[in-house]
Amino acid sequence: MSKPKLAFFKLSSCAGCQLSVLNIEPVLLDVLGAIDITYFVMAKRSNYHGPYDIGFVEGAVTSPRELEELKNIRRECNLVVAMGTCACFGGIPSIKNFTGMTQRQMEEKVYSELWDIKSIPVQGIDYYIPVDHYLRGCPIDLEEFLTLVKSLLKGVNPHFRFHSVCNECKLNENICLLVNRGKACMGSVTASGCNALCPSLGRECEGCRGPASDCNAESLAKTFSKELGLDKADIVRKFRKYAGNTSEFSKGAGDNE
Amino acid sequence: MSNRRIHVDYIARAEGDGAFDIVIDNEGVLKKASWQVWEPPRFFEAFMVGRKAEEVPELVQRICGICPHSHHISALRAVERAMDVTVSEQTVLLRELLHYSDWIMSHALHVYYLAAPDFLGYESVIAMTENPDLLPIVKEALKLKRLGNDMIVCLSGQEIQNKTSVIGGFTSLPTLSDLNKMKEQLKKMKDFAYSTVGLANQLASQVPYKDLSRKCEHVALSDPDKYAINDGRFVSTEGLDIGDWEYPQWIMESHIPGCNAKHSVIKGRDSFLTGPLARVNVNFNKLSKDAGKAAGEVGFNPPSFNPFMSIVARAIELVHAIDTSTELIDAIGKPVEEEPKFSYKAGESYAITEAPRGICCHGGKIDKYGVVQKWDIVAPTARNIYNLEKDFREFIPKLLHLSDEELTLKCEVMIRNYDPCQSCATHSLKIRLRREGN
Amino acid sequence: MEKIILNKNDLNTLFARLKDEYEVYGPVAKKDQYVFSMVENVEELKLDYDTTILPPKKYFHSPVQSMIQFSEISEGDQERSPLVKRALFGVHPCDVHATLSLDKVFLETYPDPYYKDLRKQTLIVALNCKKPCRNGFCASFNTGPGIDIGFDLCMTDLGDRYMISVGSEKGRDLVSGFLPAGEEEIRREKDIIDDCRDMVTRWIDTEEDLGEFLHQNFEHKVWRDVSKECLACGGCTTVCPTCYCFAVKDVVDLTIKDGKRMRFWDSCMFYEFSRVALDHVFMPEREARVKQRLYHKLAYYQQQFNVLGCVGCGRCVTACVKNIDPVMIMARIQADPCEEKEISLYKPPHKKIESDENPWMPYKAVIKDIKKQTCDVNTYTFEYLDEKIKAGYTYLNGTYNLISLFGTGESAISISSWEEMKGTFEHTVRAVGNVTKALAELKVGDVVGIRGPYGHGWPMEKMKGRNILLIAGGIGLAPLRGVVESVKNHREEYGKFEILYGARTPGGLLFTDEYEKWRQIPDTNLYLTVDEVPQGMEWNENVGVVTTLFDRISCSRENTVVITCGPDIMMKFAVLGLMKQGWSPEQIYVSLERRMGCGMKKCGNCQMGPVFVCQDGPVFQYAEIMNLPGGVF
């Protein structure tokens, strides 16, 4: 069996997820033995055209030209993986979708030269193209990345389970930041897979992995308001951060009210 | 001979996507060196408005995956200044240690992954691993980079985005034994880091790089007592010396006719260089003893205005970062738990830190409810672009005898001297190289 | 019970004796809470702890348990970690009771070697409670504050010294040389525990049988309210000392061949808990999962294992962001119960299988033949490699095996050959999930792992002397094929035989080349139907769902057994249709599909109310399950 051809693409993002891929130092050489990286601009100078077996797309779509690029990626790749929260949901840049400003107002606010700025509302890539697998997180979890790579090498579905962060948090026997510390932790409605990284470090979950399956954001928003005394704007900020585009978190932000 | 055109649609082995557009006329004069927005706009400065003060450091570190910690610490300091939050000495030291960890990771990444392949004639570090002579070096380099990452993980929970550092301090601290382990690892990697200086010097001393020099203003944070990283005054080789919070009055963006991107200049002066070479030049006598020694051994004489020496400066800083990290660990001792505390207060302030690739400035205005009214981001890469363009003007005419392929590579090396991260450049660019005439 | 007195300063002596022989684990402080953790000296122990974040269950049923190390798809060895002798010091009565409950799950049938090893090697020093913890309600179930079973030693703090009850020989050795307790001290111990019980303010009223009561109140409005609040985070199940469900997964290294078959704690609160291939989920509604958890704790556990499922430790309440509290829920229902109706509690068939062999280890079986049935369905003929296994292997029609491909996983697949077949057996498999797709890539001569058979099959005995009406849909014919062949082989033992079989399209029909033979079985009718016929395809049989064949049934209602298998929706309409025509649920048998991770009533993934489909089924008399709380289809 020849090594599968992998490609890494970047749309609007910080490149942190691609960089994460380079952060698997202890197993990097083993991984390179199993796959063929044919397109990875951040890591190498010789990059080849498709078709590719697996395309990892980092970043959100924020401009028409990226949309074109994305469609091309879909054509060139047998499997497309949305790599990181920006690609999955729009990520941090999607906050701008909810600022109440028009695209032009925003463009004028940040840029003085507007001739080449054409921006559109920020979306995850599956808003435009079918996506085969998702690696959530800001940035992605390396174990999960490796699990996906191994699954794809094996030709199986990794069946990631996006139940809530609380499970992993409890397994780490953390003191509950919400119940015991009164912090507005999003862990209960956020997808696990990060080994409850933030709460294990005393930091409330900010929801970077997007909604958990069967997410009950409305109920958590109620707790934020009634038990923790967060005001409406605070709650909206919580749910309009990493995955504000999702219908699940939109409910937390009060879209149903 | 027909028009010679060289297009560089993207800059490989740099973070972010960029494409230069360089036009050289048939007399070998750089006619145009322009860039257009390529990195898609993410509007950080727009959507930061209306967010809470404590979110600022969390959000801005997502500007750039390669120097998140620099953005993060700059923003922390700016917010803390604006709201009059004081932090403990331990927090100050831990933040410095965190930033040096980032330097170790980033410099190792740049020297070995991004720059070395250029100088050694490989397309990537992956290709270098296929050479049995280079494989051991690559493996050591992986370890050095991993060391930086391990330190970052230990302090902030994760390699890329900080999970523990918040306004007022840290939500979780490393244990003494974590820090001691870190110290052991630093000790182990020291020799390799030291040897990196020699290697970097060998690479930068090749023809034609060693003869390419261009005087310009080098700026860096500077502190009378130490090598400045997280705070200090804003000082240049041409005599500038201001408080870092004053940067908005001094760093100007001007529009140069014929070019579509904004150019950074120092008010009343010209383009400037920021980054490791500028830092080593400005703060040479604050380097750790061994870093100074390593610099001396390769004959590095500050100030050096050869931009290709930046790889050497990076290697020198690697040694310095390892030495200083060790000292910081000693100074921290056994970390003491402190609850990070702050309260909202209206204010406006700015702060600078030294990202691995240059100054990273953040600041803005916060209202009394802790809601951001304005946020301003000046990332290092954007600052260096104008200076890079001047490098092109200076050096490309000297390299016209080279083939298209080689000239393209040399242009890329010039770009990579700056270790650019284009996601950083919230106002960003597009790059294409084209020769005309003949 | 033998009682000993230990002066407080002798605690060190006892601890040192333990340390000599055991790794000692006990409650230690984690900020302002407590966790069980390894302890080096007595000072670290916080014996006045209220409760721990996770129960000591983690030492018997590991959150992550590596079960089998493998290298190729059929090459695996049992993972054997060095057995370390452990002592759990200061375990509260509720947690001791919880351990006894877990014992029933893991040790009673198909004893689990991993749990057994850890359990066997662990000594328990219990600690009676002096004051109630904040959320506990142990007194309701008499699982606290004192205990007299399930420990090696049990301590009670008498203030100036400890009273120690001896529960085992090992325990006795540890306290040898200490003075026996006097009557006064024994009285004081009782007083302390009684006082503590009196101080408990949280109670669940257990006067009425909880199982029946809850079954009565399955549609109570409190469940809708709780489900609206519940975040489905699974925190409650993770911290529960009696929850045992787990998911089995093969984890490979970068060779993608070598790896480990592992199990991880799972939770019925998770949407993915009941997920099977093609992303079908059997409990998608949060309300169904909320009820599954609380009913399992308060009712089903008792029905299945005859032991308490809730020990009242209160951890689920402590962990819950939304304060979902069994005590409050029960109080609310008891204050305003639903109207009483007649119900009968489900009683599982009791089957006890004990063996010294590791029930998780599949046996190697070689693929002797592969026959294509449809575009994505193959029939595989397997033969065990080991002659002894091969000779001793028997199964009943309608039961299933777990087919194991190390590195990919295991999948429960019904046996499609017939129980009289010897030497080889067959599985008819649709390639839809990871395992079945990987199986489809294999060739004749390849070796896989198989363990089984599991569960209860078709009522071959009960069908004797009676007519048989077989109704199947799609791949559902596979587990019924054995019945067809057995009837053929023993034709005289059964009455009239009618087969109604439907598929989506003619191309989806299984065993098409066998229909001629089936039709030749005396007194047998085979009726086929398809939902639709692709354009241009010739089709001379019925078009429509399988129930449209019902008017052709000629078996008399009175003396017929109905056996059916197919998609849930098909079975639902078939069963309801028949019952509407006056057929009784006693004469109808259905074969159900659920996610089956173990086949041994342990992983919990197949639970359907109080039923474990993997062992209580997969074939059920419809009458037995039609009134399950929550229903079947």
Q: Average of pLDDT values for B151-158? A: 95
Q: What's the mean per-residue pLDDT of chain A?
A: 91
Distance CA B234, CA A215 (A): 49
- The whole-number pLDDT of residue B18 equals 54
Backbone angles phi, psi at B149, to 5 degrees: -65, -45
Contacts of B377 (CB under 8 A, 6+ apart): B44, B45, B60, B63, B71, B361, B362, B426
Distance CA C507, CA A142 (A): 44
Tell me: the pLDDT tens digits for C461-477? 999 999 999 999 999 99
| Helices B404-416 and B380-395: angle between axes, nearest 10 degrees | 140
Q: Would you say the pTM of this structure is higher than 0.95? A: no
Q: Name the DSSP class of B3.
A: -
Asked if residue C151 lies in contact with residue C126, where contact means CB atoms within 8 angstroms, the answer is yes
Q: Which residues on neighbouring strands pair with residue B236, listed in sequence order?
A: B219
Sheet holding B358-366, edge to edge: B347-355, B358-366, B372-378
- B neighbour chains, 3+ CB pairs within 8 Å: A
Residues A23 and A139 in one domain: yes
Residues A150 and A170 in one domain: no
Partners of A93 on chain B (C-beta within 8 Å) are: 42-44, 47
Q: Do A220 and C321 touch (CB under 8 A)?
A: yes
Q: What's the mean per-residue pLDDT of chain C?
A: 95
Partners of B374 on chain A (C-beta within 8 Å) are: none
Partners of B377 on chain A (C-beta within 8 Å) are: none
Nearest CA in chain A to B430: A116
Distance CA C598, CA C65 (A): 14
Residues A98 and A58 in one domain: yes
Query: If DSSP states are collapsed to H, E and C, what string results for C231-271?
Result: CCCCHHHHHCCCCCCEEEEEEECCCCCCEEEEEEECCCCCH
Q: Tell which A residues from 16 to 55 touch B, by Cβ distance under 8 Å.
A: 16-20, 22-23, 25-26, 28-29, 32, 37, 41-47
Asked if residue B12 lies in contact with residue A47, where contact means CB atoms within 8 angstroms, the answer is yes
Q: Check whether the bond before C618 is cis (ω within 30° of 0).
A: yes
Report the alpha-carbon angle A24-A29-A35, nearest 5: 95
Residues A126 and A230 in one domain: no
Q: Do A203 and B164 touch (CB under 8 A)?
A: yes
Residues A71 and A175 in one domain: no
Q: pLDDT over 90 for what percent of chain A?
A: 72
Ranges of residues in chain A whose predicted pLDDT is under 70: 1, 109-117, 256-257
Q: pLDDT over 90 for what percent of chain C?
A: 94
- The whole-number pLDDT of residue B378 equals 83
Residues A47 and A122 in one domain: yes
Residue type, position C40, single letter: E
Q: What b/e string do you get for C475-498 counting C-beta neighbours within 10 Å, with b at 16 or more?
A: bbbbbbbbbbbbbbeeeeebbbbb
Q: Name the DSSP class of C618.
A: B
Contacts of C117 (CB under 8 A, 6+ apart): C83
Distance CA B353, CA B364 (A): 15
C-alpha distance from C62 to closest chain A C-alpha (Å): 11
Question: A143 and chain C: CB distance < 8 Å anywhere?
Answer: no
Chosen from C37, C231, C287, C411 to mutate, greatest number of chain A CBs within 10 A: C231
Check whether C126 has a pLDDT greater than 50. Answer: yes
Contacts of B225 (CB under 8 A, 6+ apart): none
Tell me: the pLDDT tens digits for B315-373? 999 999 999 999 999 999 999 999 999 999 999 999 999 999 999 999 999 999 999 99
Query: For residue B34, what pLDDT band results from cuts at 50, 70 and 90?
Result: low
Query: For residue B279, what pLDDT band results from cuts at 50, 70 and 90?
Result: very high
Distance CA B132, CA B136 (A): 7
Query: Rounded to the nearest 10 degrees, how much is the dihedral formed by the CA atoms of C552, C555, C560, C562?
Result: -20
Asked if residue C485 lies in contact with residue C418, where contact means CB atoms within 8 angstroms, the answer is yes
The number of angstroms, rounded, from the C-alpha of B369 to the middle of its chain's C-alpha atoms is: 33
C-alpha distance from C365 to closest chain A C-alpha (Å): 22
Instruction: Tokens for A38, please give them.
Output: 């044919």
Asked if residue C150 lies in contact with residue C96, where contact means CB atoms within 8 angstroms, the answer is yes
Q: Please compute, for residue B57, the number of CA atoms within 13 A of its CA located in the half-sphere on the CB side.
A: 23
Residues A150 and A173 in one domain: no
Secondary structure element (H or E) that encloses residue C87, with its range? strand C86-91
Residue type, position B226, single letter: K
Give the number of other CB atoms < 10 A from CB of residue C278. 8
Query: For residue C33, what pLDDT band results from cuts at 50, 70 and 90?
Result: very high
Nearest residue to A145 (alpha-carbon basis) of A35, A11, A43: A35
Residues A95 and A51 in one domain: yes
Query: Rounded to the nearest 10 degrees, how much is the dihedral formed by the CA atoms of B305, B309, B310, B313?
Result: -100
Query: Rounded to the nearest 10 degrees, how much is the dihedral formed by the CA atoms of B209, B215, B220, B226?
Result: 80
**Maximum average pLDDT range among A11-15, B125-129, C49-53:** C49-53
Instruction: Tokens for A32, please give them.
Output: 């390179």
Which of B114-123, C138-147, C174-183 comes out lowest in average pLDDT?
A: B114-123
Instruction: Tokens for C117, please give them.
Output: 């090893």
Partners of B40 on chain A (C-beta within 8 Å) are: 11-12, 59, 62-63, 65-66, 119
- The whole-number pLDDT of residue B426 equals 35
Secondary structure element (H or E) that encloses residue C197, with its range? helix C183-199
Check whether C200 has a pLDDT greater than 90. Answer: yes
Partners of B41 on chain A (C-beta within 8 Å) are: 12, 62-63, 107, 110-111, 117, 119
Instruction: Tokens for B180, please give them.
Output: 């001691």
Nearest residue to C74 (alpha-carbon basis) of C257, C232, C251, C201: C257
3-state secondary structure of B75: helix
Q: Where are the domains of chain C?
A: 3-199, 210-335, 363-454, 460-625
Nearest residue to B386 (alpha-carbon basis) of B217, B201, B229, B200: B217
Partners of A30 on chain C (C-beta within 8 Å) are: 254
Query: Rounded to the nearest 10 degrees, how much is the dihedral formed by the CA atoms of C221, C222, C227, C228?
Result: 80
Instruction: Tokens for B254, please give them.
Output: 């001007």
Tell me: the pLDDT tens digits for C336-372? 999 998 888 999 998 888 888 999 999 999 999 999 9
Query: For chain A, what is the domain count?
Result: 2
- The whole-number pLDDT of residue B4 equals 46
For the C460-625 domain, the top CATH level (class) is alpha beta
Which of A104, A128, A154 is where one domain is finished?
Answer: A154
Could you say which of C35, C234, C433 has the minimum Cβ distance to residue A166?
C234
Bin C179: left if φ > 0, else alpha if -120 < ψ < 50, else beta.
Answer: beta
Asked if residue B41 lies in contact with residue A117, where contact means CB atoms within 8 angstroms, the answer is yes
The CATH number linked to A85 is 3.40.50.700
Report the alpha-carbon angle C260-C262-C268, nearest 5: 160
The ipTM, to two decimals, is 0.93
A247: in domain: yes
Q: Residue A109, class by beta-carbon neighbours within 10 Å (0-12 exposed, 13-18 middle, 19+ buried)?
A: middle
Q: Do B172 and A28 touch (CB under 8 A)?
A: no
| Structural domain boundaries, residue A240 | 165-252
Question: Radius of gyration over alpha carbons of chain B, in Å?
Answer: 21
C-alpha distance from A65 to closest chain C C-alpha (Å): 35
Q: Which residues on neighbouring strands pair with residue C503, listed in sequence order?
A: C530
Question: A243 and chain B: CB distance < 8 Å anywhere?
Answer: no
The CATH topology of domain B20-435 is: Cytochrome-c3 Hydrogenase; chain B (1.10.645)
A159: in domain: no
Q: Name the DSSP class of C300.
A: I
Nearest residue to B409 (alpha-carbon basis) of B133, B4, B8, B132: B8
Superfamily for the C363-454 domain: Translation factors (2.40.30.10)
Tell me: the pLDDT tens digits for B62-94? 988 888 999 999 999 999 999 999 999 999 999
- The whole-number pLDDT of residue B152 equals 96
Residues A106 and A222 in one domain: no
Question: A30 and chain C: CB distance < 8 Å anywhere?
Answer: yes
- A neighbour chains, 3+ CB pairs within 8 Å: B, C
Residues A100 and A196 in one domain: no
Contacts of A15 (CB under 8 A, 6+ apart): A42, A58, B15, B16, B64, B65, B66, B421, B423
